């Protein structure tokens, strides 16, 4: 019976299709005129401060004519701008209609989040539609940018530069924000500047931005810079001596502070909810610690530091509670012995192959570039390179260094000049001279402590190692400036005609990238 039914249905369908194929009747067909939206002159994504005005002017073409945005000549066309939350913000349910014109001019007064903006053109007769979509990040005033830590009148404050070389979403206008910390907390930080870093180790949220000066160490809300903890509350038990020297974050999901030459840690690999704070100091037998920690290391280490007194590296083993020397005897083929470096630490940065790069000086004042691999673990050849910098101009007067990930890119600066040391060839090139009346105080490349970067992720900057910053100070006007320029990330060469200048800061000590993440 079922077979008969199926066969009957098939025969009926064949007859129907056959009748259609023989039908030569006259019918009216509507030719559908295409609608085209040209957004080639617009960005795909935008970053807007809340309450700023977004202006977008797409070009709509219909029946071969550009539609007049001021007075559309085709009455059958309708236009709509709608905004709804991105999938990155599932807790937001609102949807808004912003306008019914071709050009958009709308105040971005919605919640601080990432939104999708949809422009729709509809032919009301045929119901044919064309679409254009944009991503819009409505941000706090203090979103993604390049942070500048500086001294003003003996105190510490923070500024920020926001432009399209830094922000991953299009910025409609460049900004320089000054005295952010003091404006958010009614006073600057006590003491001269030390370190600043945005921490992402708490993967579940509650990210913090740490700022350290010679007289204070605080965590602040990344969106507002309002203080969360000061020195007295940032520890479980406040140390008897208040002498912060460094705040640092590593890929091992740990936050560190050196205070009064003692190392404290917050371990986010320990699962748990609630408040986190720096623990009691780790123990160990060592001398004066340099204001540095390795950014990345193998699973065998929680931390790597440098003992300035005994001129050797120290380690903290995984889940360890003391600073101890490296235990593996180093092979004679190693470029240097981590247990007997014999030099004074000057500067450091993470560089090629994600090896740590150091400028150090021996007892005779001779300078060297050292490279070390702490990522592989406690191997017998941690010391990878030792390069003589004796012939490098002004190396004895160097004030800062910066190294890139993707090539033999090693910059150092004196107060008057920027140099690149091409260490394999042993050649130093002068790349930049400071303007009259100014002195270089710091240099930095645009990057972050994450060594597994990917394009477009919120916790990785754009233009990694492609943007160089040179901080200068004019003693007469007591004004700090930042010169931003594009560089070739492989060769280190400065790209001509890319320099920009931002000014109004104090005397700049440190610079760092601040990601934009709305939690």
Within its chain, how far is the Cα of 20 from the centroid?
64
| Predicted local confidence at residue 228, as pLDDT | 94
Question: What single string gives the DSSP state of each residue in 408-441?
Answer: S-EEEE-SSEEEEEETTTTEEEEEEEPPTT-EEE
> What is residue 93's predicted lDDT score, i.e. its pLDDT?
83
For residue 326, give both structure tokens.
Answer: 């490296």
9-36 CB burial, b ≥16 within 10 A, e <16: eeeeeeeeeeeeeeeeeeeeeeeeeebe
CB-CB contact of 160 with 149 (8 Å):
no
| pLDDT score recorded for residue 205 | 60
Tens-digit pLDDT string for the chain (519 aa) = 333 323 333 333 333 334 444 444 454 545 568 999 999 999 999 988 776 889 999 999 999 999 999 999 999 999 999 999 988 778 788 899 999 999 999 988 787 788 999 999 999 999 999 999 999 998 776 778 999 999 999 999 999 999 999 998 788 789 898 999 998 898 999 999 999 999 988 766 667 899 999 999 999 988 888 899 999 999 999 999 999 999 999 988 899 999 999 999 999 888 777 788 999 999 999 999 999 999 999 899 999 999 999 999 999 999 999 999 999 999 999 999 999 999 999 999 999 999 999 999 999 999 999 999 999 999 999 999 999 999 999 999 999 999 999 999 999 999 999 999 999 999 999 999 999 999 999 999 999 987 877 776 777 899 999 999 999 999 999 999 999 999 999 999 999 999 999 999 999 999 999 987 654
Closest CA to 100 of 119, 74, 115: 119
């Amino acid at each position: 019976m079922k077979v008969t039914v199926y066969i009957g249905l098939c025969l009926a369908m064949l007859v129907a299709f056959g009748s259609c194929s023989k039908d030569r009747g006259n019918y009216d067909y509507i030719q559908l005129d295409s609608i085209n939206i040209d957004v080639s002159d617009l960005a795909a994504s935008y970053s807007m401060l809340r309450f700023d005005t977004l202006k977008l002017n797409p070009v709509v073409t219909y029946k071969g004519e550009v539609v007049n945005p001021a007075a559309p000549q085709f009455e059958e066309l309708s236009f709509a701008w709608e905004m709804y939350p991105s999938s990155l913000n599932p807790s937001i349910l609102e949807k808004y209609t912003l306008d019914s014109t071709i050009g958009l001019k709308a105040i971005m007064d919605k919640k601080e989040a990432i939104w999708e903006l949809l422009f729709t053109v509809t032919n009301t007769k045929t119901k044919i539609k064309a679409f254009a979509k944009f991503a819009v990040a409505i941000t706090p005033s203090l979103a993604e940018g390049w942070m500048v830590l500086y001294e003003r009148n003996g105190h510490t404050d923070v500024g920020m530069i926001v432009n399209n070389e830094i922000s991953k979403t299009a910025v409609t206008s460049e900004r320089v924000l000054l005295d952010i910390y003091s404006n958010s907390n009614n006073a600057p930080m006590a003491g001269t500047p030390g370190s600043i870093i945005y921490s992402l180790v708490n993967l579940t949220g509650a990210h913090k931005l740490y700022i350290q000066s010679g007289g204070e160490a605080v965590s602040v809300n990344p969106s507002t810079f309002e203080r969360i903890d000061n020195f007295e509350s940032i520890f479980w038990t406040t140390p008897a001596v208040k002498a912060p020297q460094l705040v640092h974050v590593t890929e091992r999901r740990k936050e560190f502070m050196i205070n009064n030459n003692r190392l404290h840690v917050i371990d986010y690999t320990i699962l748990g909810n609630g408040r986190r704070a720096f623990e009691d100091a780790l123990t160990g037998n060592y001398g004066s610690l340099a204001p540095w920690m390795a950014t990345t290391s193998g699973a065998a280490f929680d931390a790597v530091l440098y003992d300035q007194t005994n001129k050797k590296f120290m380690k903290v083993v995984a889940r360890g509670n003391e600073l101890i020397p490296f235990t593996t005897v180093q092979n004679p083929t190693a470029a240097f012995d981590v247990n007997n470096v014999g030099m004074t630490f000057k500067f450091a940065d993470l560089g090629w192959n994600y090896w740590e790069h150091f400028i150090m000086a021996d007892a005779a004042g001779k300078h060297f570039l050292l490279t070390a691999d702490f990522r592989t673990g406690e191997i017998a050849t941690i010391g990878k390179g030792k390069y003589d910098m004796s012939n490098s101009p002004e190396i004895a007067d160097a004030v800062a260094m910066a190294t890139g990930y993707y090539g033999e890119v090693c910059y150092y600066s004196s107060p008057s000049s920027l140099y690149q040391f091409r260490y394999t060839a042993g050649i130093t090139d002068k790349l930049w001279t400071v303007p009259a009346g100014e002195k270089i105080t710091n240099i930095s490349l645009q990057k972050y402590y994450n060594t597994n970067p990917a394009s477009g992720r919120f916790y990785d900057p754009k233009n990694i190692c492609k943007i160089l910053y040179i901080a200068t100070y004019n003693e007469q006007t007591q004004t700090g400036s930042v010169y931003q320029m594009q560089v070739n990330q492989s060769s280190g060469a400065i790209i001509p005609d890319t320099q920009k200048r931002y000014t109004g800061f104090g005397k700049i000590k440190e610079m760092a990238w601040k990601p934009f993440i709305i939690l």
